[in-house]
Amino acid sequence: MVSHTMTTTHGPIDVHVHLSGNGKGGMDCWHRQRWIMKPFLWAGARDIGLKCGFADSGFDRMYLDQLLHWLSTSSLEAAVLLAEDWVRDDRGAVRKDLTDFFISNDKVFTAVKRSAKLLAGVSIHPARPDAVDELERCAAAGAVLLKLLPCVQNVDCNLSKYKPFWIKLADLGLPLLAHTGGEFFVRSCRNDLKSPGCLRLPLECGVTVIAAHCSTRALPWDGDYFEEFLQMRKDFQNFYGDLAALSHITHLKSLERLREEPERLLHGTDYPVVTAVFPSWLKGWIDRETMQHLRGIHNPLEKKIQLTKALGFPERVFTDLWGLLPRAPQLASLTNL
C-alpha cells in the first residue's frame, strides 16, 4: 500500500515570548515593584517601543498591542506566549511573599485570541492539588506547551510524587519548557534547581523537555551548567535547548559551542529581553556591515531571527518546534486555509 504523506513547510516559530502586565487591569496577573529592576524594565520598554511606563494603567493593553504589531510585521509564523504560575510550597500553597511575577493561564488564553500567530504556553506548578485537572483543562483549551521556572517557582521536578503529572504531560503530547541556568529578572528561591539535572524525571517519563537558555549563565558569577546541558543532550533524545536571550557577553562561550554543535536547538527571543548584536561583532562572528544592518532592525522579534541566521545556525532551529507541538497538524491545516 502506498501512503501519501503531505509535507507542510512551516515558517519560523519563537518558543519563548513573555506576556507582561502590572495587574492594574485585573486580578489575573501581578507584579512586585522592585526598585532595583526599574532601569532594566525601562530599557526593555524602550527597546520594544512602548510609549508608556510599566506603572501606567494602560500598560497591559499597550504591551500586548505592541507585541502583536511586531509579530505581524516579522517573518514569524507563530510565537508561544507564556504564562507564569505563582511560587508555591511543596504542597502547592501560593507563596506570594516569594513571587515577583504572576501571569495566569487564562490571561494567556485571552491574549492568544487576538492573533492566529499566538500559541498558549501555560504554567502549572505540579504541587498544586488541582495540577492534573488544570493541565487537562489547558490542553483541551489549546495549550501547546507547559512553562516552568524550577529555580524561581520552587519546582523540584525530580520529586517522585510529580511522576503522574509528568506522565499525563507526556500522554497529552505537550513539551515542557523549563528555565535552566542563571536568572536575572526575577528572584530565584532554589538555586539548586538551576541545573538541567533537575529535569531528569520528566525526561524519563517521556516528556519532551526544552531547557530554556541551554543552561547558560545570565551573570558572570552564576554557576555554570552548560557542560551538564551538553551531556544531557547526548543522553536524552527528547532533550532540547532554546536560544532565548542568548546574545550577550556572558553567553558567548556557550554560543560558540552551540554554533559548532547545533543539534536539537530551538529559536526563541525571551521577548521583551533585549537582543545584543555588538558582542557577536566583538567575537568576529559577524562583520561591521552585518552588525549595522542588524542594529537597524527595530522589530525585536525579527532582530533575533536575523542575528541567529547571521551566526550560521541551521534553518531547522527556526522550525523544528512545529514537530514537537501537540496540535501541529491542525494548526498547519488552519494556516493553510
Residue with the shortest CB distance to Zn ion:
270
From the CB of 17, what's the least distance to Zn ion, in Å?
Answer: 9
* Residue with smaller CB distance to Zn ion, 270 or 320: 270
Q: In 3-state terms, what secondary structure has residue 37?
A: helix
* Residue with smaller CB distance to Zn ion, 37 or 132: 37
Interacting positions 211-270 with Zn ion (CB under 5 A):
270
306's CB contacts (< 8 A; 6+ apart) are 293, 294, 297
* Residue with smaller CB distance to Zn ion, 50 or 205: 50
Q: What is the C-alpha separation between 245 and 234, in angstroms, rounded? A: 23
How long a stretch of residues is the chain?
337
* Residue with smaller CB distance to Zn ion, 108 or 205: 108
From the CB of 273, what's the least distance to Zn ion, in Å?
Answer: 7
Is the bond preceding 272 in cis, omega lying within 30 degrees of 0?
A: yes
* Residue with smaller CB distance to Zn ion, 77 or 270: 270
116's CB contacts (< 8 A; 6+ apart) are 334, 335
Interacting positions 58-77 with Zn ion (CB under 5 A):
none
Residue 32: HSE in the Cβ half-sphere, 13 Å Cα cutoff? 15
Residue 271: HSE in the Cβ half-sphere, 13 Å Cα cutoff? 29
Cα→Cα distances 189→41, 72, 79, 250, Å: 21, 37, 29, 22
Nearest CA to 264 out of 225, 308, 321 is that of: 321
* Residue with smaller CB distance to Zn ion, 174 or 218: 218
From the CB of 287, what's the least distance to Zn ion, in Å?
Answer: 30
Q: Is 84 in the site for Zn ion (CB under 5 A)?
A: no
Interacting positions 266-305 with Zn ion (CB under 5 A):
270
Start-end of H helices in 27-130: 38-47, 59-72, 105-112
* Residue with smaller CB distance to Zn ion, 76 or 170: 76
From the CB of 333, what's the least distance to Zn ion, in Å?
Answer: 30
Question: Residues binding Zn ion: what is the number (CB under 5 A)?
Answer: 1
CB-count burial class (<10 Å; 0-12, 13-18, 19+) for 335: middle
* Residue with smaller CB distance to Zn ion, 14 or 270: 270
From the CB of 336, what's the least distance to Zn ion, in Å?
Answer: 30
From the CB of 160, what's the least distance to Zn ion, in Å?
Answer: 28
184's CB contacts (< 8 A; 6+ apart) are 40, 218, 219
From the CB of 78, what's the least distance to Zn ion, in Å?
Answer: 17
From the CB of 213, what's the least distance to Zn ion, in Å?
Answer: 8
DSSP string for 274-308: PPP-HHHHHTTSS-HHHHHHHHT---HHHHHHHHH
Q: In 3-state terms, what secondary structure has residue 271?
A: strand
Tell me which residues touch Zn ion (CB under 5 A): 270
